[in-house]
Structures are given as structure tokens and as C-alpha cells.
Structure 1
Amino acid sequence: MIDELRQIAIFARAVDHGTFKGAADDLRLAPSVVSHHISQLEAKLGVTLIYRTTRKFTLTPEGERLLKSAHIMNDAVTAALDDLRGTLSEPSGVLRVTATSGLSQSRLIKHITDFCARHPKIDIRLEFSDQRRHLIEDGFDVSIQVGAKNSQAPNRQTLFEGRRCIAGASSYLSQFEPIKTPDDLKGLSWVMLAGVKGSNQRLTRSGQSPVKIDPVGQITANSSLAVYRFVKEAAGIAIVPEFLTEEDVSKGDVQIVLPDWDLEALDVFAEWPSNASKDGIVSLFVADLCRSENMIDS
């Protein structure tokens, strides 16, 4: 089928030019190659398309019929290519994104909103989940996750660092003596995030050696948003993203525990299929997020 389509296109070009040489020059082929393709097409169809002489050719009735169909075919292909070029000049399509649930409460939402406003022909389909999804098997174009720092890869890009803190409801913390050192954390209840590898965490402060803490929780949830909701309900303290706490801290409902100590920041990174086009909407989307500095903290 592919060979026949090519031969029909060459046939139509030869007729439009009136000579094999004119078509050959246009197609950058030898005249003998043009003649060969048309002869092969005639052999496959079992009809004569062109009556040849040494100087010119004329169409047979079958050739006239095929030329009409060839022009319709060429017009359709040209229109499709023009439409595609127009689409490429203005990015369009569906972009399927999966992201950690906690990021639904972050500035990621605003940046995606701004991205959509700049590119109205791109449809974003978002799934927020703390269950790690597989890009290819689950049909996603981009995955935005939070995790420990790791080496970069051609299909992975760190977007920013996600700062974490220890938070507790003011009503819960009021039951205890003020927490001034990591040792004062002993005896407090913790709410844990399921699936976190290793419970040991390190607190650091300038001029002091790191202090390892080992949270143990009565409540474990598989959602960072659920963990923080338990914190707000005074179920205990938890390690949570800082951006989740900002509004409640400003109202006095939640307190940052040991605010002068730091937990190791995590990477917020984007991943995408390794064979994604470098000029496609996936690359456009990731590059746009990378330009949005301080996404979480702004």
C-alpha cells in the first residue's frame, strides 16, 4: 500500500508537470526513476495510465480517473499536514499528570492554572495520590513526586526542595512542658505516614551535631493530607510539609515544634517517559514548572 501511494503521488506530479523530467527535477529523482515508478503502478493495476511518445505523453481514460483521485488524495494529505503544523505552532493535546496528594494544597495548583491559561489547547488530567503510579502501565505523561534526593536522569528533573517540619496542634502541645530540645520529643505521640522507608530522622542545627530521632506512632495513614488532619485534631505530632501548616500556624491553631532545628529537605521532582518528545507538551510542561521558582514557598 505504501509503495502504491508513493507511485500515485509521482504519477500525479508527472502529469501536473507534463513531462517526466519536470517531475523528476521537482522530486529530485532521475527521469528514469519516475518512469519506472509509473510503469510499476500500471503493472500492479493492470491498466495503461499514460500513452508515451518520445516528447510528450497523454492520459488514457483510466489515467484521467486515477489523476482525479490522486488530486483528492494529495489535497487531503496537504490539508492534514497544514493542520498539524498549525497544531505544533500552538501546543495542544491531553497531558496526564499524577502527583503526590499533599501537592494539591501547594502552589503547584496555581502554576498549573497559569500554564493552562498560557496554553488553552492543552488539557491537563490530574490525579493526586500517595500511591506511586507507574508512568507507562498506568498511562501517565508526567509524575510529580516527593522523595529523598537521588541522582538525576535524562527523564527526571528536580523542581525544588520541599521543606519539612514537626507540627502539632496547640491544644495538644499545651499538655506538655515547652519542647526546647530533641530530647523533649520523647513521650509524645506521633502520627506516621505509611510507606516511608525507615523511621529514623535527623534534626540539624548550625553549630551542633545532628540528632537522630525515631518517631513511633499509634496512628499511621497512607495520605500526607490525612496525617496532617490528625495533627489538627490533636492526635499527636507529625513530620509534614511546611506549606500545609502555614495558614493554621498564622491562626495559632498549629505550632511548629523545634522551629530552630531543621529536618532534611526532600526533593520534589518530575519524571516522564524516556522516549517523550523533547519538543512536545511534556517537555513544555516540565520546563514551565522549573521556571516557577519557589513553587511551594512562594
Structure 2
Amino acid sequence: MIDRLRQMAIFAKIIDHGSFRGAARELRLSPSVVSHHVSQLEESLGVALIYRSTRKLTLTAEGHRLLAATHKMLEAVEGELVDLSVSASAPSGELRLTVPSVLSQSLFTQQIAAFSQAHPRIKLFLDFSDTRRALIDDGFDIAIRMGPKVKNSATTRKLFSVERKLVASAEYLAERTSPNDPNELVDWDWLALSPAQNVPLVFSKAKGTHTTIRPQARISVSDAQALYQLAKAGAGLAIVPDFLANEDVGSGSMKYVLPNWELHAIDVFAAWPANAPKHGLIHLALDALSHNMS
């Protein structure tokens, strides 16, 4: 079959060039080899395809039929080769990501948009949710997570860090004496994310001063954006990513509590299946997001 296809392609080249010699030059073969391939094709089919004279070549009826079929075959193959070449230079496919809902308010969404614009043949499905989705069981290619001090591994990579701030509304703070130490806040109204409501809070200050407190949450919330909105409404203190509060702090409606004390930043990292191809779409996205957010 491979020999037959080669003979058909040579046959079409002969007719396109109008001579055995012209086809031989393009194919970098000798005229005798070109002639041999056509003779073999005619013999295998049991029909004459070309009438030869000293001045020109004339197709037989069978030659016309075979030429039309051969052109269709070559056009189809060349089209596929072009598509494959484009695919190699322009990656295509689908990526499914699960992302913490709070990051929809961060620069992370801009980085996802930039990746999509750079790779228009990649279709993205983004699940923004504070419900922790299973990477494999729920069918995701990449899971974006948030946690403290994440180390890179074979299946995880830190993308960037998010500063956390203790905030409260200006209205809430107006009714209370301004605190100077975290311990003064233990009995205040605390709002907390449900997964982290019992985690001790470590505050640090210049010169290595550290203080740990264990406040009890008055309200526990499963969504970070809802947590912030409750704090904004005056329900109490909340620890939130700085990008949620920056604009409101700038306008004066929200304030940083204990601005001279710091909380540990939280890492945003990616996790992916162990069998992900090293040069596939998953690592293409990871490299882009790591670079853009660094």
C-alpha cells in the first residue's frame, strides 16, 4: 500500500509538471526512476494511465479518474499536516481548574485571562468555589489551593503568596479602645472561616516579637468573601487577604487592626495528577502562572 501511494503521488507530479523530467527535478529523482514508478502503477492496476509522445503527455480516461482521486488524497493529507503543524506551535485542548472563590477578586483572574489570550486554542473550565473539590475524583487537571508554607514537590508548586490582614469596619472600631497588643482582642467579636476557626493566630512584630492567641469565633463562615462582607457590615474582626480590603481601607470604611503587627502570609499553590505529561497543557499553564505571579 505504501508503494502504491508513493506511485500515485509521483504520477500526479508528472501531470502537474507536464513532463517526467520536470517531476523528477522537483522530487530529486532520476527521470528513469519516475518512469519506472508510473510503469509499476499501470502494471498493478492493469490499465494505461498516460499516453506518451515525444512532445506531450496525454491522460487516458482511467488516468483522469486516478488523477482526480490522487489530488483529493494529497489535499487531505496536506491539510492534516498543516493542522498538525499549527497544533504543535499553538497548543490546543481543554484544561479544568478548581480555584478558591476568593481568588476571583485577585490578580489571579488577570493571569488566567492573559494565559487564555496567549493560547486561544486551549479551552478553560474554571470552578471558583470554597468547597474543596477533589482533583482526580471530580475530574480536574489543576487544583489551586491556599495554605501555609507550601513546598514544591513532584505534584505541587507554589504560585505566589497573599498577605493577610486583620480588619474591622470603622463603625465597629469607633465603639472600642484602640488595641496595642493581640491579647487585648481575645474577647472581641471574631469572624472566622469554618476550616480555620480553631487555628491559633500568630502575630509578629519588629525585633522578633511573637504573640499567639486562640480567640473563639462568634460567627463561622465557609466563604471568604462572605466573611469579609460580614466584617464590613460591622459584625466583628476578620482576617482576610489584603486584596479584599485594600480599596475599602483606602476609602476609610474599613481599617487595619493592629497595623504594627503582622500575620504570616498564606501561599497559593497548584496541585496536579502525578501522571501529567511533562510537556503537556498542565505544565504549560503552571509555567505561565508561576512566571506571571512571581
SS of the equivalent of 2:187 reads coil
Query: CA deviation digits over 1:104-125, x for unaligned, max 9?
Result: 0001122222222222222322
Task: Report if the CA contact (8 A) 1:162-1:268 is conserved.
Answer: yes
Partner of 2:166: 166
Q: Which amino acid aligns with 2:80?
A: A
**CA deviation string 1:227-272 (max 9, x = no partner):** 1111111111011111111011001111111111111111111122
Residue identity in the other structure for 1:59: S
Q: Tell me which residue corresponds to 2:44.
A: 59
For residues 213 and 152 of structure 1, what CA distance do their matches in structure 2 show?
A: 30
Q: CA deviation at 1:85?
A: 2.2
Q: TM-score, normalised by structure 2?
A: 0.75
Following superposition of structure 1 onto structure 2, how do residues 54-93 of structure 1 map, counting pairs within 5 Å?
Answer: 58-60=43-45, 76=76, 79-93=79-93
- SS of the counterpart of 2:136? helix
Query: 1:156 and 1:61, CA in 2 relative to 1: closer, same or farther beyond 3 A?
Result: farther
1 CA distance for matches of 2:270 and 2:277?
Answer: 15
- Counterpart CA distance in 1 for 2:93 and 2:40 is 49
Structure 1 runs (4+) deviating above 6 angstroms are 14-18, 68-75
Report the CA distance between 1:70 and its aligned residue.
9.6
The 1-side partners of 2:197 and 2:77 are apart by 54
Show the counterpart of 1:123: 123
C-alpha spacing 1:59/1:206, structure 2 compared with 1 (3 Å): same
Question: In 2, Cα distance between the equivalents of 1:147 and 1:10?
Answer: 61
**Percent identity over paired residues:** 35
Corresponding residue number in structure 1 for 2:217: 217
Do 1:130 and 1:222's aligned partners in 2 also have CA atoms closer than 8 Å? Answer: yes
Q: How far 1:138 moved relative to its partner?
A: 1.4
Residues 200 and 213, structure 1, Cα contact 8 Å, conserved in 2: yes
Q: Following superposition of structure 1 onto structure 2, how do residues 1-298 of structure 1 map, counting pairs within 5 Å?
A: 8-9=1-2, 12-13=5-6, 58-60=43-45, 76=76, 79-196=79-196, 198-293=198-293
The SS at the match of 2:204 is strand
Kindly state the Cα deviation for residue 184 of structure 1 after the two structures are TM-superposed. 1.4
Stretches of structure 1 that go unaligned for 5 or more consecutive residues are: 1-7, 19-54
Aligned length: 251
Aligned residue for 1:37?
none
